[in-house]
Structure 1
Amino acid sequence: MTSPRRGQLAGLTAAVLFGCSAPLISTLTGSGSALSIAGLLYAGATLALLVVRLVRGTQAETPLSRQDWPALAALTLLGGVVGPLALVLGLARLPAASSSLLLNLEAVFTLAIAVLLGREYLGRRGLVSAALTIAGAVLLSEGSLNGANGLGAALIALATLAWGIDNNLSQRLSLRDPIQIATAKAAGASLPMLLLALLLGHAFPPLPVALALLAIGALGYGISIWLDLLALRDLGAAREAVLFSTAPFVGALFSLLVLRDSLSAPLLLAAGLMGAGVVLLLLEQHSHRHRHEPLLHDHRHRHDPRGEQGSGNPHHEHHHAPQDLEGLPADRPFWHAHEHHHREIEHAHPHVSDAHHRHRH
């Protein structure tokens, strides 16, 4: 499976898990405060990621370095603290319909930052795909701004902006170990919220509900965050945003099939729009001649010793120190991670805006 296909599969699975979590959480919101519930969800995410790390064992990944901690702290603060708190405060000041409509700004902010500041490229088909999926999300929210006030709308916009920046910062860190990043982010979000809820005397859910929230957080936040990081690594933030914006439709479909909500015309129309948008993105083929500047970095990559040109990827045709290959197979493809140099190269092939393809168009 190619890197873009892996990223697409990871991104869609992340959207499915997160989308299914939303309607389940909505049935439990009356059992405790918003802060305690959010803390329990991220605590479940932390536990799940620790289990995944234990089960998977040591993988060929580049760990976080000291230089990465500022970016990790920023995305944890923005995505795990500022975003949820601004959302809770905004929801208290707005009608549900207005909130649902404004939450679609996350995809818009993510796309805008990725394309305008992150040098990612979306061609005509990608832009049409983004427009279709966002239009489907807007339609699905059935929202209007009737009854909205300036402060409430500003708080929801702040939450979505925080998550948009978080997505782009996460993409920049995605060459590092995704499990390590996701675990640090989940733990960094859950502990402050749980401590703050305890200090402020907020109500906590009863034990059965708390266990349910931990389980929902494990899948809908923990595993979803990990898969989303893999999608960010292989696709870039812009394309990941298009795929992840299908989460509201997944949630609506889950509510229809599992929670027995009624079928509506907006759901059917949103399904058509989002389905068309996702298909367009999956069929996208962006290829042209482009030039790569010399680059030195450290990340997970693949080699095939049987191939005439290493892994078949000219970016990773490089020499190795003996310690780089210690314990690795000599007769079959393998993954490993080490600092390596990318030589200057000019070629043409299908590609997306991953870490190796941030060139001008």
Structure 2
Amino acid sequence: MHKGVIYAFLAAALFGASTPFAKLLVGQMAPVMAAGLLYLGSGVGLLAWYALRSIATYGREKRTDGLKGRDLPWLAGAILFGGVAGPVLLLVGLMHTPASSASLLLNMEGVLTALLAWFVFRENFDRRIFLGMIFIVSAGILLSGQLGSELGTPWGALAIIAACLCWAIDNNLTRKVSGSDAVQVAGIKGLVAGLVNLSIAFSLGYAVPEARSILSAGIVGFCGYGLSLVMFVLALRHLGAARTGAYFSAAPFVGAIMSLWMLGDIPGNVFWISAVLMAIGIWLHVTERHGHAHTHLPMQHPHSHLHYHDSHHQHTHDFPWDGEEPHNHAHQQQHLVHTHAHFPDLHHRHRH
């Protein structure tokens, strides 16, 4: 299986498993406080990992894929939408929505991510990918209709869909910096988003939760938001935003299963019909194949890469290289024309 797909499914599993745990936190503190602690746990944990990794490799490995000045506007926008607005809207939605149904509604993130990627950022797509998205959208609409009949006005569903839109914008902006160090990107996003949300919570007069609740939020945030985001950034690097969002649609199924087990939610027939429709949509995406003759233009960028068995990285080195792979340095992509199956990764963001 393509490593980008593996990264995307790992991101999905980690985030999906965090949904029922996040719902438990909502009962213990205000949504904005919970969002702040979840992201703060993510940011502190990842930046600690980043620091320890730097210390462990000091003098042995010089990484060149750190964030640059040109990356900061894209990262700031991603933090605003995905790290501040999105989590608060999700937690507000969870207050009015069963966790299993909320987990399936989160599939809308993949749909909205793809729509933005296709029509705003111009990623390629074909009829198979489009048909898969129709199945996922149909499932989301069906589930939202069920919530509307149960709750009178589907404010919980609308809040979750709004959170998905924020994350869709975040995903497409993060794609712009996905060639940078994934741990650094995710750590900064988590730390800034956590501090902003906590500042809002304290300004609204919310008290500091109990130490046990803070610790629980930190652990859930590090695993479900931090590690998940690292995997997601790596998937963006290899797959592009639309396909990563589609594979990430597996996350709600993980959350739904855990919600049924942990929280005792009892889904009705509409839930299962929606699940089948979403499963068909995900299957159409996972089984997609795309290949044609394409041209690589000269481009310089830094990221971890291989040389053997990779025609895209047949460059020379201006420093002594011991042959160890993968390795990380700024390199020049040469002009190249060839044909093979590919995704819209760092080297295949060409027009069709």
The TM-score normalised by the length of structure 2 is 0.85
**Corresponding residue for 2:118?**
115
Change (3 A) 1:8 1:210: same
Given candidates 186, 190, 193, the residue that maps to 2:194 is: 190
Does the Cα contact within 8 Å between 2:186 and 2:230 map onto a contact in 1? yes
Q: Distance in 2 between matches of 1:176 and 1:356?
A: 14
Given candidates 220, 224, 230, the residue that maps to 1:220 is: 224
Q: CA deviation at 1:197?
A: 1.9
Mind listing any 5+ residue stretches in structure 1 that lack a counterpart? 304-310
Given candidates 325, 344, 349, the residue that maps to 2:340 is: 349
**Corresponding residue for 1:42?**
39
Does the Cα contact within 8 Å between 2:46 and 2:187 map onto a contact in 1? yes
Q: CA deviation at 1:349?
A: 0.1
Q: Tell me the secondary structure at the aligned position of residue 125 of structure 1.
A: helix
Q: Which amino acid aligns with 2:239?
A: L
**Corresponding residue for 1:319?**
316
Alpha-carbon RMSD across the aligned residues, in angstroms, is: 2.9
Q: CA deviation at 1:314?
A: 2.1
Identity of aligned residues (%): 40
Q: Distance in 2 between matches of 1:211 and 1:339?
A: 39
Q: CA deviation at 1:352?
A: 0.6
Q: Distance in 1 between matches of 2:134 and 2:64?
A: 35
Q: CA deviation at 1:43?
A: 1.5
Q: Which amino acid aligns with 2:338?
A: H
1:32 aligns with 2:29: yes
Q: CA deviation at 1:85?
A: 4.3
Mind listing any 5+ residue stretches in structure 2 that lack a counterpart? none
**Corresponding residue for 1:143?**
147
Change (3 A) 1:297 1:45: same
**Between 336-345 and 157-166, the greater mean CA deviation after superposition:** 157-166
**Corresponding residue for 1:338?**
329
Cα deviation code 1:244-278 (max 9, x no counterpart): 22322221111123333335433433443333333
Q: CA deviation at 1:356?
A: 1.3
**Corresponding residue for 1:229?**
233
Q: CA deviation at 1:123?
A: 1.9
**Between 30-39 and 336-345, the greater mean CA deviation after superposition:** 336-345
Q: Distance in 2 between matches of 1:281 and 1:45?
A: 29
Given candidates 168, 171, 174, the residue that maps to 2:175 is: 171
Q: Which amino acid aligns with 2:74?
A: A
Cα deviation code 1:52-87 (max 9, x no counterpart): 335654475611112211211121122112333455
Q: CA deviation at 1:140?
A: 4.9
Q: Distance in 2 between matches of 1:116 and 1:51?
A: 38
Does the Cα contact within 8 Å between 1:174 and 1:232 map onto a contact in 2? yes
**Between 343-352 and 175-184, the greater mean CA deviation after superposition:** 343-352
**Corresponding residue for 1:206?**
210
Does the Cα contact within 8 Å between 1:75 and 1:169 map onto a contact in 2? yes
Q: Distance in 1 between matches of 2:94 and 2:268?
A: 24
Given candidates 55, 63, 76, the residue that maps to 2:66 is: 63
Q: Distance in 1 between matches of 2:10 and 2:277?
A: 19
**Corresponding residue for 1:180?**
184
Q: Distance in 2 between matches of 1:72 and 1:178?
A: 12
**Between 209-218 and 151-160, the greater mean CA deviation after superposition:** 151-160
